[in-house]
Structure 1
Amino acid sequence: MDNPEDRKDLQQEIIIQLWKSYPKFKGESAFSSWMYRVAINTAISSFKKEKRRSDVYNYNTAKEPEQEDYDPEKDQQLEVFYRAIQQLNGVEKALIFYFMEGLSHRDTGIQLGISEGNVRVKLNRTKEKLQQIIKKIGYES
């Protein structure tokens, strides 16, 4: 989520879903894997609801942090990256963020309910799609 209020709302929704889903936890996987799965499914559902709403985050009104060192090049790269990410579907976003977190293909597959091989294929396709989106935006490093 782009703004702090939305992140807090999503965090609350994830906690609610974990609480509601706990009786269904069968112990067939690690508890942390189950938690991740519930969290990612809740986040994907939230992104779908967010997409239906027409209020999209406006990067032109974003304020820069006042106390951090400012690197305009890195700031521009991040802005382009996040704008590109917003054009991905929920599963693609999850794949990219799991990849950025350093999750293995196996663990990512467990979280998303797909095979390790399918994760590899989808991740490569998503990376290529992300590169194409970034090129369309008009930014190449």
Structure 2
Amino acid sequence: MVRASDCATSVSSAGFSKKAVRRFKRSTFFRSGCCTCTPPKCPPPLPQVLFSVSKRHFKKAVDRNLIRRRCREAYRLHKSALAALPAETRPSYIAFLYLAKEITSYDVIETAMKQSLKKLEKLPPAFLKEQSNS
């Protein structure tokens, strides 16, 4: 582990903003060859989420956006279930794929979202599975 302030090269001369330079100088980073990786101070409070609606089934962008908005709203209202999980068991990324071929009402989407989030709560963390197999 190396502190950025220990580096001989000047960060400010690389064309970064002052705010980025200050953050870089305070952070701890790892160097591997030519790549530098700055790990986050703590895990993110909630996972990053992707909502996907097929262009094949919904040709009009208006329809895809309507479905995506409904899915996002259902997730927003029920994401507190994920926030209650310990950081070790919380997933980092979640992708929700809308597989129906017709536009469904918000009530149906909300019910499906609740069920999906309950299933996510019951899943064991992936890294614990890998460690138990070794």
The answer to whether TM tops 0.5 is no
**Structure that is richer in helix per residue:** 1
Greater percentage in strand: 2
TM-score, L = length of structure 2: 0.28
Please identify the structure whose Cα radius of gyration is greater: 2
